[in-house]
Structure 1
Amino acid sequence: MRTTRTKRPRPTPHRSAHRTPFLAAALALTVALAGLVGLGGAGTAQGAVPTVPGWDLQWSDDFNGANRALPSAANWQTDTGHSYPGGPANWGTGEIQNYTASPDNLSLDGNGNLRITALRDSAGNWTSGRIESKRADFKAPAGGTLRIESRLQMPNVTGAAAAGYWPAFWALGAPYRGNYWNWPAIGEFDIMENVNGLNSVWGVLHCGVNPGGPCNETTGIGASRVCPGASCQSAFHTYRFEWDRSVTPNELRWYVDDQQYHTVRQNQMDATSWASMTDHAGYFLLLNLAIGGAFPDALGGPTPTAATVPGHSMLVDYVGVWTRGGGTTTPPPSTGSSTLYALPGAALGNSSGSASSATLTSAGGVNSDGTPRNPQVFTSSGITRTYNGGATQFDLFVDAGTTVGNGVQVRVSYDRTGSGVWDRTETYQYFATDPLPGYEHYTQAQGLKSATGTLGNLVNGKVRIEIWNAIGGGASTVGTGNQSVVRIPYS
């Protein structure tokens, strides 16, 4: 299991309280313009994820499937309960619902949408849904731009009946996974937030330190506006975030229906805060419908109330991630390291392919710490590259389902000349998985257990990774295709 960290007071990721002057102004604008906005039809899924001229699609989900089917397990993991294991209670925000994997709360609607529904039982307990992308490497390429977009409809409920509704589409920095106490330094991009059925969309950046810092935490740097044309609640709208590294200073931009309403620039903060937010592996995406908490309470609290009506849903037509210019969405670290993907069929490849998985057999109660036992083996051959003096890095997606404390372990070996002799072997400390279904990130930060030999230039060489369960009594899964990677220190 993950180590439970000492809880220290701090509000949270997932958008904090937003108790800011811009809220008051935005709320006033919403009220002033409410009578001017038409209430158009609800709209439907528009089909395939759109082709965007000038942009390259890196990843997407258009939520096609049968009514009440769960979202793609290859693309998404489902959060359940009232917190991450070892993380802040109530997801750090004060929201009150219990997230479940029930199709009553979280499912496809059979019409090309994801449906997240907030429900209340006879005892007054609320349930809802929250998912996050398995991939956590969404990042603007060096010299290019990242685009994250969703077409969705907020819960179609307004007024007193909407008190406490808090739908959101957002992204968190990858280092948050498995830590849960490094917010806000790792960054949070709130692409679409709404509370209490107000006809307004909020876009917010969280960064730096809490409280205070360059992002004015726990507030964040935010802006809001009414939805163009039909209200946010009555129709689908397209919500977009861009991270632009092609301009100086770099920019972060927020849009609704292609209309830009918020910008944050690199020169608005110190270099350390910007680097902490941008110089990691990337971001993962989240979609959820919360009930109650700091943000809705700030604008109408306390929420929910007796008048709040359950049963309303956020509908998501598609989510897409594009890049433009520069390199790939997951550029190698600045040391010049090369990225290899663990692929189906035991290969290490330069390109990722589609998401898939491989089974790690149970350790069977035998302690195999440091010695591979029935490992999954991935190998790349014929590599000629120059050693740059760096170190091995890896990011493996692993999951033990509901099994408690499987110890997934990895060994990375280098045959510098393809002679069949492994000149360098690195064995890393095992990663104790949690008992909740959903991929976790096992990285080199777990620590080096042992190493033999030395690294040097590869001339027709080989690289091999072996992954196995070192301890525990159940099988595990390792993500392959576009999921697990090893970054070797070669250019």
Structure 2
Amino acid sequence: MKLEGLSENTSYYIRPYLKVGDKEYYGYAQQVKTLGAGKEYHPLDKDEAITDYDGYQLAWSDEFNIDGKPSNEWSYETGFVRNEELQWYQEKNASVSNGCLIIEGKKEKVVNPNYQAGSEDWKTNRNVAEYTSSSLTTQHSHVFKYGRFEVRAKLPSAEGSWPAIWTLGNTWDWPMNGEIDIMECYLVNGKRNILANACWSSPQQWVAVWNRSTTLLTHFIDRDADWMNKYHVWRMDWDASKICIYLDGELLNEINSSETQNQGWNGNTENPFSNDIDGFGHYILLNLAIGGNGGDPSNSLFPMRYEVDYVRVYQKK
């Protein structure tokens, strides 16, 4: 179906209709909103040059310009993974179309093959997942030590969505390996926030020390009512001394690496963001979680769409 004559940045309600013989059938009305004509509403053109930065060279990128499955440089998390979230992660919810990686959150049932009746483990005591999504990672293809990380993306706005751009260290268990949240979007005290965080290990196993930055989503929407319909650029500049995280050029958090030492669990006092360990690096994750800190998705429209235009990693020359 092709609709013509629609205005830009305008909401419409579409109700499917079918006539069979003398009977008429109507579906549920769906709200859709048209995009603007500007580049901020669309993925970059496939032939547009990759940005150059003085003092940096491009180490790796995925421009998502070939339709179909994401490249083999991405691997996938599977099943129930973390935070008692609602989604079952699976590869097929990720695809590339029209110059974008599309991660879809769907309301669909998946039988949990690991189900154990009476289990106290949240990963095994649910016999069915009610939602599905994808989580992609470069864990088995690319790890990086320092550099400029840049991701252009458009976020889902539905209640229950929890999109993220983040990194994990490839050495030691969490949180000793270090986590950097270049972007998370979820509820804090009942209000949606954009977060820019990092964590490392406390003296206790599985207990993290966090450096958090939370910015109310309204901080951005009050300046641009159409903010959620546009693509935005998240950037991390990371070197041996600090981690700086930006959104559209606005500094959200600056983390001093002198303060990020692991605090002694299992004898580990290394710094997961600044050290001289051979092979040390961080890999990238892109995922759309559902539920948990994202809120209650039960009244949201599905599928949810988290769109990533490109991922680029630059390193100093």
SS of residue matched to 2:213: strand
* Contact 1:201 1:232 survives alignment (8 Å): no
* Contact 1:49 1:318 survives alignment (8 Å): no
Per the TM alignment, residue 154 of structure 1 is displaced from its structure 2 partner at its CA by 0.4
Aligned equivalent of 1:127, options 132, 139, 142:
132
Give 1:92's aligned residue.
Answer: 82
Aligned equivalent of 1:191, options 182, 188, 191:
182
Give 1:64's aligned residue.
Answer: 65
Cα distance in structure 1, aligned partners of 2:205 and 2:257? 18
SS of residue matched to 1:121: strand
CA RMSD of aligned residues (A): 2.8
- Bigger relative contact order, structure 1 or 2, given CA contacts below 8 A and separation 6+? 2
* Contact 1:49 1:320 survives alignment (8 Å): no
1:314-365 per-position Cα deviation (integer Å, ceiling 9, x unaligned): 100000000124xxxxxxxxxxxxxxxxxxxxxxxxxxxxxxxxxxxxxxxx
2:72 is equivalent to residue 77 of structure 1: no
Per the TM alignment, residue 116 of structure 1 is displaced from its structure 2 partner at its CA by 0.3
2:223 is equivalent to residue 236 of structure 1: no
1:221-264 per-position Cα deviation (integer Å, ceiling 9, x unaligned): 1113344854552211000111123xxxx111110011112111
* Contact 2:89 2:133 survives alignment (8 Å): yes
Per the TM alignment, residue 278 of structure 1 is displaced from its structure 2 partner at its CA by 3.1
1:348-395 per-position Cα deviation (integer Å, ceiling 9, x unaligned): xxxxxxxxxxxxxxxxxxxxxxxxxxxxxxxxxxxxxxxxxxxxxxxx
Cα distance in structure 2, aligned partners of 1:218 and 1:163? 27
Give 1:206's aligned residue.
Answer: 199
Write the mapping of 1:6-405 to structure 2, written as runs, cut at 5 A: 41=36, 43-47=41-45, 48=48, 50-54=50-54, 55-66=56-67, 69-73=68-72, 75-82=73-80, 91-102=81-92, 105-109=93-97, 111-121=98-108, 125-133=130-138, 134-140=140-146, 146-155=147-156, 157=157, 162-175=158-171, 182-195=173-186, 200-209=193-202, 217-218=207-208, 220-225=210-215, 226-227=219-220, 229-230=223-224, 232-245=227-240, 250-270=241-261, 273=269, 275-279=271-275, 280=277, 281-293=280-292, 295-296=293-294, 303-325=295-317
* Higher relative strand content: 2
* Larger gyration radius, structure 1 or structure 2: 1
1:186-240 per-position Cα deviation (integer Å, ceiling 9, x unaligned): 1111001002596642100011236599xxx546211133448545522110001
Relative to structure 1, is the Cα distance of residues 71 and 270 closer, same or farther in structure 2, using a 3 angstrom cutoff? Answer: closer
Cα distance in structure 1, aligned partners of 2:297 and 2:100? 29
Cα distance in structure 2, aligned partners of 1:94 and 1:205? 20
State the one-letter code of the partner of 2:308. V
SS of residue matched to 2:229: coil
Segments of 5+ residues of structure 2 without an aligned counterpart are: 1-33, 110-127, 263-267
1:125-170 per-position Cα deviation (integer Å, ceiling 9, x unaligned): 1000111013342002xxxxx1111000001x2xxxx232100010
Moved more, 303-312 or 316-325: 303-312
1:405-441 per-position Cα deviation (integer Å, ceiling 9, x unaligned): xxxxxxxxxxxxxxxxxxxxxxxxxxxxxxxxxxxxx
Per the TM alignment, residue 97 of structure 1 is displaced from its structure 2 partner at its CA by 0.5
Cα distance in structure 1, aligned partners of 2:272 and 2:53? 32
Cα distance in structure 2, aligned partners of 1:275 and 1:124? 37
Per the TM alignment, residue 310 of structure 1 is displaced from its structure 2 partner at its CA by 2.0
Cα distance in structure 1, aligned partners of 2:42 and 2:192? 19
Relative to structure 1, is the Cα distance of residues 285 and 270 closer, same or farther in structure 2, using a 3 angstrom cutoff? Answer: closer
Give 1:3's aligned residue.
Answer: none
Q: Percent identity?
A: 27
Relative to structure 1, is the Cα distance of residues 305 and 56 closer, same or farther in structure 2, using a 3 angstrom cutoff? Answer: closer
State the one-letter code of the partner of 1:209. S
| Paired residues, number | 244
The TM-score normalised by the length of structure 2 is 0.69
Relative to structure 1, is the Cα distance of residues 175 and 203 closer, same or farther in structure 2, using a 3 angstrom cutoff? Answer: same
* Contact 1:152 1:315 survives alignment (8 Å): yes
Relative to structure 1, is the Cα distance of residues 92 and 211 closer, same or farther in structure 2, using a 3 angstrom cutoff? Answer: farther
Cα distance in structure 2, aligned partners of 1:262 and 1:221? 9
The TM-score normalised by the length of structure 1 is 0.46
Cα distance in structure 2, aligned partners of 1:60 and 1:198? 33
SS of residue matched to 1:233: helix
